Structure 1
């Protein structure tokens, strides 16, 4: 399959035209501070930085399939007529939020005619198959297609009649934007540099937005899509704030290449990501360096399907076999600190992260690797809702990913508190290495099962503390680690024991000293009971409780 190219959706009242880059990048005083690095249509006006344009599929070119001619005297404004047994495919370019339509058979259909309607987004079933009979009232279809490139509309006959006319009335795309090409942000006479707009890169090696300055850069009210990193820096000392942006990772269409990060900052001084939405990206990545990182704030964001899968080069994903897992995926996280040492103001809070089985490949949702706060200013990870961490494909039973973890030699001065961690397969919250780490007042629940009731492939604990054998234990204050007041119900069922529970495990140091002090932790249910068998609503209640707590705290999560 050839790589799809972006389409340009413009409202009927606008003609497509180029605009100056200065008009596109609000808040910049000099044109030289930003430049386009690739080709692409620019938005018709600078006021349309986030548009809610609507376009009808009847006005868009078909990639494959064909519509049916209408009978004489019949009209179907803004609709599509097809014969049963047809598939229409469109390139929607990751530009729109929803597809909607009214579905039903034409009045000319025989009385015994029956068809099914389906909608597929990048090969994934999003609606149907839904059965429709002749004479029935129209049904409404409303499908989320954010970040989707290929949209398929499928009608199949159930009664055997291929000549019956099936209609997609008012078949429209809503919430559409038009992207410009990738940009580089250089020094400006005005500070901070403020960027709004919609940007896209179809080259996996070129980010949609590249930061090449140490001046404060604010990226807000944007939509960003790309086949590699969406936002990254090429110069040490980057100071970046991202607010109210939507980011979509696209299949790279290059074999063995994975979707890029929503934002990747290496050796930066500050990163703030607030009220944004990430879909099918590799998450948020920070690598420490010679620059002292003072501020990291990851607050009130939503993320769907953190993705470390590698492309097969044809629009699909490579399927690892048991012996070649490392070659077929990368370790992606919602947030990864990598050797970020001594950060004085770091907070990851009130984020909602959800990974769907079979459509994601996250390692640890939040990973603190060889990273640290300070004794007076600890890294604070609190009030996050994390749901899901799964192997890909789901049939593989060996999986090391999970919820929140401190790792590396050595992470320290970290508080992990009041998070809700659900269905994260291998582990919920863990100290793989660390000192002065506190895990307190969290809820960690998992059934150990996939939607089809097969085993999820994990084998570890809801909360665990242990020490990697390759890390030196000399001088480590193991008594500084605290695991307290957590409520845990973490099942790891097996064929031999479907009620097997693994809630909490704290290992000893080589000296025999426990690696953490445990105080007043509790089990969600009796520790010898099957979690889902006993309380099938436990996970749903935990989500509802978190949502209600966010409302009570005045917290709005995601884009506004």
Structure 2
């Protein structure tokens, strides 16, 4: 697995203090907040807001909207986490974007470093059209990190946790790289009690996700990992449902690569999981690994009609044995797999080859990820 440096090398810009947006429009600039209780950019309107060609950094939320039915587009923007400070009331991780109640969210061609990723929660209030949906595409992220002052929150590159069904939603063509010891990510992508529709499922495809580790790194227990459908404490009408996960690359992850802990009408197919279970130093992982994890975990009668098929799995454990498939006897999924790679070929070089395959996929599809211009 290659050690890559994605940090831009341009001269540091001048940052203004926090920005509060109360009217729709297009906003460009450089904003920061060194206080974890204060968002660097706070959107307080349901009118369409575009944030573009900007740099944002914060000790807490970078971009936030709470309770406004937000319509937010963030594009061609860089976000960086600053050192967390003491907070009040509840933990405020350094989310690149945190939105509670929304009609439309688009995050495209952005770069984020040492942030706590993207969180969409509470309620979808849109009209179900392609113009009012969720699009998280063509972004680059380095070291998703849930650290807060004197602690750590469970954070993701993306988490959905909303009420309502969102058609046309897509998480695609993103590159997420987490380095051991400096990242603090839970699940890289977590679909939590959130739904697409039968005609238009949530599509999670063609993402490259490398690295998922406990923090601090010496811990032997780790509950995070790759891409998971999770659905605790709810019935089948509100559970995670109508999700398709396909053609993703999952590399060097701890705990699991693909998982279903609850939900229905979820299909995971033609993904690639390659885990040599060794650090760059060559030392074996000291925590659990697995390729596919599937279980009716919460016993809420909401887990059915799921399938996991035609995934390419080459996952070793810390004891150097296969960890491709882990099932619970109560789970009903298609036991169909293909293209297993011999255990003795699962090496760090094979993980590096997976990144080469990803780069070739980008070239062949003429896709540029990250900001499109020098900011």
State TM-score, norm by structure 2: 0.90
Partner of 1:236: 68
How many correspondences in the alignment? 357
Query: Looking at CA atoms only, which structure, 1 or 2, has the larger radius of gyration?
Result: 1
What is the CA RMSD across the aligned residues, in angstroms?
2.1
Partner of 2:299: 471
Partner of 1:386: 209
Q: 1:304 aligns with which of 128, 142, 145?
A: 142
Q: 2:109 aligns with which of 275, 285, 288?
A: 275
Shift of 1:530: 4.3
Deviations 1:403-460 (A, max 9, x none): 1000014211000000000011110011111211111100001112222333434324
Identify if the C-alpha distance between structure 1 residues 183 and 400 changes in structure 2 by more than 3 Å, giving closer, same or farther. same
The alignment partner of 2:355 has SS state of: helix
Higher RCO (Cα < 8 Å, 6 or more apart): 2
Q: Does 1:521 align with 2:338?
A: yes
Q: What is the alpha-carbon distance in structure 2 between the residues aligned to residue 402 and residue 285 of structure 1? A: 17
Q: 1:264 aligns with which of 95, 98, 122?
A: 98
Partner of 1:153: none
Q: What is the alpha-carbon distance in structure 2 between the residues aligned to residue 530 and residue 398 of structure 1? A: 26
Q: Does structure 2 retain, via aligned residues, the 8 Å contact 1:249–1:259? A: no
Deviations 1:174-212 (A, max 9, x none): 43211111111113xxxx500001111111111111111
Shift of 1:290: 6.5
Shift of 1:484: 1.1
The alignment partner of 2:362 has SS state of: helix
Shift of 1:311: 3.4
Gaps of 5+ in 1: 1-125, 127-142, 147-172, 313-327
Q: Does 1:459 align with 2:276?
A: no
The alignment partner of 2:147 has SS state of: coil
Structure 1 residues 135-284: aligned runs within 5 Å: 174-187=10-23, 193-254=25-86, 259-284=93-118
Partner of 1:398: 221
Partner of 1:20: none
Q: Does structure 2 retain, via aligned residues, the 8 Å contact 1:506–1:516? A: no
The alignment partner of 2:107 has SS state of: strand
Q: Does structure 1 retain, via aligned residues, the 8 Å contact 2:61–2:92? A: no
Shift of 1:330: 1.1
Q: What is the alpha-carbon distance in structure 2 between the residues aligned to residue 184 and residue 395 of structure 1? A: 41
Q: What is the alpha-carbon distance in structure 2 between the residues aligned to residue 303 and residue 233 of structure 1? A: 21
Partner of 2:350: 538
Q: Does structure 2 retain, via aligned residues, the 8 Å contact 1:306–1:362? A: yes
Partner of 1:67: none
Q: Does structure 2 retain, via aligned residues, the 8 Å contact 1:441–1:485? A: yes
Q: What is the alpha-carbon distance in structure 1 between the residues aligned to residue 120 and residue 81 of structure 2? A: 18
Q: Does structure 1 retain, via aligned residues, the 8 Å contact 2:154–2:185? A: yes
Partner of 2:194: 371
Q: What is the alpha-carbon distance in structure 2 between the residues aligned to residue 300 and residue 144 of structure 1? A: 15
Shift of 1:523: 1.2
Q: Does 1:358 align with 2:186?
A: no
Q: Does structure 1 retain, via aligned residues, the 8 Å contact 2:192–2:230? A: yes
Identify if the C-alpha distance between structure 1 residues 515 and 472 changes in structure 2 by more than 3 Å, giving closer, same or farther. same
Partner of 1:24: none
Partner of 2:323: 502
